[in-house]
A = this chain, B = another copy of it.
């Protein structure tokens, strides 16, 4: 950690800062420059310095050198984490495709979709039962009924199920019905929810918040790992920018960056990122080429009649064609779908 003193800081202020840091049991290495003094700080736990000294007289800036996350970091865990569930391995050689409707609407809709996912070579069924929606007047999902329909589709097809939780009080219900619990972008910093999921030990798909830096996402994962749960799949799903043509701006650099910074698997949600069905195919292919460990794609037997996000859902034919294309791109980088 580097503490930068302001140009106007007096020698007394520098001394006071040095003493204070040393009181925390840390070593100080002051460097007296021509215009400013900077203090290198060495030692194990520097949280206190960051938390309490930013407002100290004469302190201009505190610059952390080490990454603020530990367990999520590749530095502390160099090998890739691979998550195994019902025969599917996420984070291994194979690119995993999760697909399904935005919302579970009926037993037939989810069952038909599950069959198609299975048939096309997808590995996991997605579908929302509890839907967080920007407007309270939008369809909010079927709730527990939707979870049951998902379980029925799993039973028939053998596909594991990923579905979104929004309420920490429902954690047991989700552990029962979902193979992977999804934390949506709006809840990425819902630390109460993250902590419950951490304690459950259940596999989790953690979506990046629309204004969250890569570092914030890894710190959110840290909340879960800290409780002993390493079964975390990170998900890039677009960030909030000034561009209005797409719903969000898909940040594929984040995929490549996270693969360097962390050992956790990363998947991409092209559907919510772009919000336009005809961009989903090229963005899915780009995601795989960028090194994503999987995709989570919205598909619907009849997008024209979808109860939510119809404009970004692929129909079955387009999805099947996408799977064929993905196999070629995956092969080009030495992976499989």
Contact = CB atoms under 8 A, between A and B. Distances in A.
B253 A249 contact: yes
A311 B210 CA distance: 26
A160 to B, nearest CB: 25
B138 A51 contact: yes
B211 A310 contact: no
A293 interface: no
A213 B249 CA distance: 11
Contacts of A210: 211
A9 interface: no
A33, A166, A254, A255 interface centre (most CB from chain B within 10 Å): A33
A256 B242 CA distance: 18
A241 interface: yes
Nearest to A239: B241
A328 interface: yes
Given A251-B249, A288-B289, A166 B192 contact: yes
A242 B242 contact: yes
Given A169-B169, A286-B289, A332-B329, A134 B55 contact: no
6 contacts: A31-B40, A34-B43, A56-B304, A69-B135, A252-B283, A282-B289
Q: Which 6 pairs from chain A and chain B are nearest by CB?
A: A55-B310, A211-B211, A54-B311, A289-B289, A211-B240, A286-B290
Contacts of A36: 65-66
Nearest to A277: B55
Contact of A241 (B209, B241, B274): B241
Nearest to A34: B42
A134 to B, nearest CB: 5
B246 A52 contact: no
Contact of A307 (B51, B215, B310, B333): B51
